[in-house]
Amino acid sequence: MTDHALLLVNLGSPDSPGVADVRRYLDQFLMDPYVIDLPWPLRRLLVSLILRKRPEQSAHAYASIWWPEGSPLVALSRRLQEAVQAHWHEGPVELAMRYGSLSIEAALNRLAEDGVRRVTLAPLYPQFADSTVTTVVEETRRVLRASGLELELEVLAPFFGRAEYLEALVQSARPHLQQGFDHLLLSFHGLPERHLRKADPSGRHCLSGADCCRQAPPEVLARCYRAQCLRSAEGFVRQMGLSEGQWSVAFQSRLGRAKWIGPYTEEQLDALATRGVKKLLVMCPAFVTDCIETLEEIGQRGREQFRAAGGEELLLVPCLNDHPAWAAALAQLCRAPNVGSADVLA
């Protein structure tokens, strides 16, 4: 072992599907200013209102997907950690979650105690968003400042268009697509439109027109979540050799009344069924690990909705999870020069 560690960070999960644990988790998640970008008093009021009913509803959803070994997201992330370690010979591979247990602080302290001096931080999100990548980077910086840990930090940049990521996506998905389908829906996690506008360094490009994402200059593309999602989708279907009419893109998991980026997945499920699609495949390339948004939102509720609208079969293509090609690709992505200093995402 050397002193160069890899720290994988995923979103996190409640400790159990019990209402109290779900409420605690949702409170931490939703009070993150990068998730709900309102001043603290308004955010506290809004989250308190959400927590009146949402924990019980979410607890039922979590219970429907819970595994004997616990949260699927955490269990699969642990498997990925082990698989990546086989390819990462520079030092230890640690795992942390932004919310809930397995905190970033605990992981960094363990690494420092083991004598590690250099850490590559890998937020497990292919596309950039403040509510995913930035909050992981900022929490890591906060911990380093507060703890006085002298660790050299590098950050894996969003890898939405990297050849290693796209090839792993193709290898993991190909067996499912080879079984035949009428249509492939690439469903990415949604984001409020205001988040795109806030992240736009030009202050005027994002959402300025119907084709703005495809015309995004490099500095805008580097921070535009929607444009990066479209690049991931286009790169994947190009490598799979799919024709234009065989696939489409949508965005899921809306919360609240604000306008989110579209088209919306739930509307597309109805539209595709009405159009005559009988066998629908759904991939969720914004997630590298299956979780409540894939297993329950798409695999259960989405399937029921599609069938109710006239479709016959909705098959959820698994996320990358701990696929061997993905474990190898992630280790390669985390090696220089595929990383940047922590200041890149400031």
Question: Domains in the chain and their CATH numbers?
Answer: 4-160+325-335 (3.40.50.1400), 163-316 (3.40.50.1400)
Apex 80 CA angle, 341 and 144, nearest 5 = 35
pLDDT of residue 177: 96
The response to whether 189 counts as a known ligand-binding position is yes
pLDDT of 338: 62
Adjacent-strand bridge partners of 250 = 187
| pLDDT (0 to 100) of residue 339 | 64
- Quick check: helix, strand or coil at residue 282? strand
* pLDDT of the residue at 343: 42
Task: Write the pLDDT tens digit of every residue in 239-251.
Answer: 999 999 999 999 9
Bridge partners for 183 per DSSP: 280
Q: What is the pLDDT of residue 258?
A: 85
Any idea what the Cα angle at residue 236 is, between residues 230 and 237, rounded to 5°?
90
pLDDT, one tens digit per residue, over 180-212 is: 999 999 999 999 999 999 999 999 999 999 899
pLDDT on residue 336:
66
Partners of 249 in beta bridges:
186
Task: From 259, 253, 327, 243, select the one nearest 291 (Cα to Cα).
Answer: 253
Q: Please identify every stretch of the chain with a pLDDT value under 50, giving residue numbers as ranges.
A: 341-346
What's residue 342's pLDDT?
41
Tell me the pTM: 0.95
